[in-house]
A and B are shown apart, each in its own frame.
Chain A
């Protein structure tokens, strides 16, 4: 009997050599006359262990990691696939505390199934939410989402149910469901992991949204920086269509729903919803004025639900387990789970999905194991390039939208970037402005011009030129950008800058010339 061996086909695993490891395992097995069945799964999100190779046994899956091409031979010498005594053996993967303590909802199947196998998907609970939805009145689906307390996971945390209700209530023939998969924040990759590791989950979530709101066409707007996610999702769309889960007669229900995949072109601003819609229409990705809201006048002027990928991926489980079950996870007004991404200078980086309410400190030290460099953690940026830099004194803040807002920070899409004590916060503040200047859509002046002036002012501060005056100027500029910009890019760029000034002011003191 052949042993089943799993080697992830996921961007991070591949970036660390998973394809080469898979080839080496195949070659070594056939050289030694061992029959194995090699499955390419998605990633479990234990990124520091990638490539994480797993072997199926009667007790469960035994993990090995991080495996490199050079260690494959030794693993076989130690008896691989039965090499439990080898130094790289992690024991049962499901028993690893890092994974066991998590509350995986969106990521329940990631790393476990073959991502494009419909059989695997169905055997692990796939389509159950869609089947429920097909038997429900549209209003009941919307109400379930409203009652679950699910809020937008893209960063704005807007109640998902209100958006769906608004689109549901529009008496128009053509409506759209748009998935925002333009995951541009540094320190985030949860959208990518769903597309690469459990793509039918998104298809199911979008189908449910379509049934709820009366839309028969969906669009996924995926960033071009994710070529593997694109490749896997294209395959998933084809197979779902063949299996009758997309098309003119979804699961023989007489209802129609299909999804079109569109690729971005390297513009960060297209993660902003109205700019994304412009881009989908084939235009420059420039932000629209609101109102009208996309829910009333969105893509091609039609009522449109535009949700982040994780929001849509959360929906199937809400329908299966009930709104109450989902609402009972979480903390305060932040209900359900958030896939948190631990990144940057962190020893055990990866994806941690937990109900809201865990502290930043627990994530950084209990899960993350401190910095990768072994030096003290000095600053963490939460919520992407527009998120605040937090000092050690704020590490007890709980993962909760309101708790973060209360300290002038934001959770965003759940990305946490860790910096050790070698970081120069003036450089980080300068980069925040530089990034805004590079990615500004150009529509409003505070963002387009303010960010350029911001770079210059911070540069003068770094050089110790007229420190007091330039600091006052920077604060005033931040104020203008924050209150005068059309969208969150210009409006939130001051967050990292002001937090750097507030919490790491020692870096901004004039320094002796080097």
Chain B
């Protein structure tokens, strides 16, 4: 039997191409004051997540310890250390959306997707995240699908958003 590649990206070393891309991101930004967040955003924009193998490189470039970089990654809700699903759906769980039925949408998502927040469906089609306000509070309830904000959502409209992501009915 062939050996199976480890699936956890945590143990995956950076390949040469990724290493090069990463240096291309870090080097021009390293000298700016307070560079860590901008660098982490740029890495996540490029790779879809912040691969743990990047941490030593970033730490080295900014003269920080790996623990400090890890501490920042784990502090902020936006940064993820594993790749998300093909689509990312963020449901607003905050008060203005609650007042317009966000809890019903939450129940609908959990039941149809069979996952909770911060989880990805088994087929990798969709990652579900909570978000606390998208600034669309007068046209609630609101969700963001792959960066696009959708307002005045009903369960019917949410269902068609899920259909558009190829989620099984």
Contact = CB atoms under 8 A, between A and B. Distances in A.
Interface in B35-63: 35-38, 40-41, 62
A459 interface: no
B99 interface: yes
A266 B41 CA distance: 11
B159 to A, nearest CB: 17
B137 A188 contact: yes
Nearest to A285: B75
B59 to A, nearest CB: 12
Contact of A187 (B62, B103, B137, B149): B137
Given A285-B75, A344-B140, A225 B131 contact: yes
Nearest to B144: A225
A34 interface: no
Contacts of B136: 11-12, 15, 189
Given A343-B99, A343-B138, 16 more contacts: A12-B135, A12-B138, A16-B152, A186-B92, A186-B97, A228-B149, A262-B38, A263-B37, A264-B78, A280-B34, A282-B62, A343-B140, A385-B132, A417-B137, A428-B95, A431-B98
28 contacts: A12-B138, A15-B139, A15-B150, A15-B151, A48-B138, A48-B139, A184-B133, A186-B94, A187-B96, A225-B131, A225-B133, A225-B134, A265-B40, A266-B77, A267-B77, A282-B37, A283-B36, A283-B68, A284-B71, A284-B75, A341-B137, A345-B100, A349-B137, A349-B138, A385-B132, A417-B96, A420-B99, A427-B103
Interface centre among A262, A344, A419, A420 (most CB of B within 10 A): A344
Of the four ranges (under 10, 10 to 19, 20 to 34, 35 or more), the interface on chain B belongs to 35 or more
Contacts of B147: 227
Given A184-B133, A265-B40, A267-B75, A16 B139 contact: yes
A417 B99 contact: yes
Nearest to B130: A438
The 4 A-B residue pairs whose C-beta atoms are closest, nearest first, are: A349-B138, A15-B151, A186-B94, A282-B36
A268 interface: yes
A185 B139 contact: no
Given A187-B96, A344-B95, A282 B71 contact: no
B139 A50 contact: yes
Given A343-B140, A428-B95, A184 B132 contact: yes
A282 B34 CA distance: 4
B68 to A, nearest CB: 8
Given A263-B41, A418-B99, A183 B34 contact: no
A226 B144 CA distance: 11
Interface of B: 33-38, 40-41, 62, 68, 71-72, 75-79, 92, 94-100, 103, 131-140, 142, 144, 147-152
A244 to B, nearest CB: 23
A27 B35 CA distance: 45
Interface of A: 11-12, 14-16, 47-48, 50, 183-189, 192, 224-228, 262-268, 279-286, 300, 341-346, 349-351, 372, 381, 385, 415, 417-420, 423, 427-428, 431, 435, 438-439, 441
Contact of A47 (B79, B95, B99, B139): B139
A300 B149 CA distance: 35
Given A344-B96, A349-B137, A350-B138, A282 B132 contact: no
B138 A183 contact: no
Main SS of chain A's interface residues? mixed
Contacts of A300: 33-34
Interface centre among A12, A185, A268 (most CB of B within 10 A): A12
A5 B40 CA distance: 41
A15 B77 contact: no
Contacts of A441: 75
A283 B72 contact: yes
B79 A265 contact: yes
Given A279-B37, A284-B71, A285-B76, A226 B135 contact: yes
Given A184-B132, A284-B71, A265 B41 contact: yes
A32 B38 CA distance: 48
A185 B94 CA distance: 9
A372 B79 contact: no
B131 A415 contact: no
A186 B96 contact: yes
Interface centre among B96, B98, B100, B147 (most CB of A within 10 A): B96
B95 A385 contact: yes
Contacts of B77: 265-267
Contacts of A227: 147
B26 to A, nearest CB: 13
A265 B78 contact: yes
Contacts of B35: 282
